[in-house]
Amino acid sequence: MPRKFFVGGNFKMNGLLADIDRIVDHLNASHLDPNTEVLISPPAIYLLHVRDRVKKGIEVAAQNCYSEKQGAFTGEISPLQIADSGIPWVIIGHSERRTLFGDIDSVVAEKVRAALEEGLNIILCVGETLAQREAGETLKIVEHQLDCVKREIGPWAEVCHRIVIAYEPVWAIGTGKVASAAQAQEVHADTRTWLASHVGKEAAEDTRIIYGGSVSAKNCVELATQPDLDGFLVGGASLKPEFVDIINSHLKK
């Protein structure tokens, strides 16, 4: 079966309640490609509000989680709490978590394991810095990040349908720079090859690999034409009306 196109909107730490309502109401009133899976990820304090306000067919994700079920971990939320709240998805390993908050590869892998144990679906973010790209280490870095997760979670093939991989080059996050279609395709194709070699051919064929990094209505159509690019994780543009155009970009392929 063809992989279903996937578009997620990561609001990051943006928006007050009125802003969140405006974004959600715009999505609710818009025609969205029925063949695209759509997800939005508001700040944690608004998760339940958005869950109850958004129309059927749009899913909701937490932006992060911790690796423990509960305990003295001030400021964190656990996969157990996310699942208990009826939130089916969580983003793990976003470059801002890795670079600003010290989520090293092993920490990301532990969070993935914990989220899977609670039945959550995961957007697993991977990607290289500008220095790593300029050193020709992009594929090596991304494969290492995937290797760390595989060692932690064990039989990936059994849960591959619950993991969406998001390639997000760190140098393109919030900078206005974007990987070219060819650059994105190279990493996506290598990631699929890694999956075939380390997880299984069926998992490689079924796993959705999406792109994130200054995605906009202007560049999404060209990116969406790449054979191994199965959607987008959108940052700033998900706060704007053009998010609908990105969701519907698959219609223009």
pLDDT over 80 (residue 2): yes
Digit-coded pLDDT (tens) for 205-249: 999 999 998 899 999 999 999 999 999 999 999 999 999 999 999
Mean pLDDT, residues 185-211 taken together: 97
**205 catalytic, yes or no?**
no
Where do the H-state alpha helices sit in 1-101? 17-29, 47-53, 79-84, 95-100
> Which among 37, 94, 143, 152 is annotated as catalytic?
94
Q: What is the pLDDT of residue 176?
A: 76
Residue 17 pLDDT class (50, 70, 90 cuts): very high
**Domain definitions of the chain by residue range:** 5-251
User: Of 131 and 41, which is predicted with more confidence?
Assistant: 41
5-251 adopts what CATH topology?
TIM Barrel (3.20.20)
Per residue in 134-173, pLDDT (tens digit) is 899 999 999 999 999 999 999 999 999 999 999 999 888 7
Confidence at residue 233, expressed as pLDDT on a 0 to 100 scale: 97
Residue 106: what pLDDT?
98
pLDDT confidence tier of residue 253, bands split at 50, 70 and 90? low
pLDDT tens digits for 26-65? 999 999 999 999 999 999 999 999 999 999 999 999 999 9
Catalytic residue among 37, 128, 168, 188: 168
Q: Is the pLDDT at 7 greater than 90, yes or no?
A: yes
Catalytic residue check, 168: yes
Tens digit of each residue's pLDDT (9 = 90 or more) over 75-127: 999 999 999 999 999 999 999 999 999 999 999 999 999 999 999 999 999 99
Per-residue exposure over 49-88, b if at least 16 CB sit within 10 Å of its own CB, e if not: ebbebbeeebbbbbbbbbbeeeeeeeeebbbbbbbeeebb
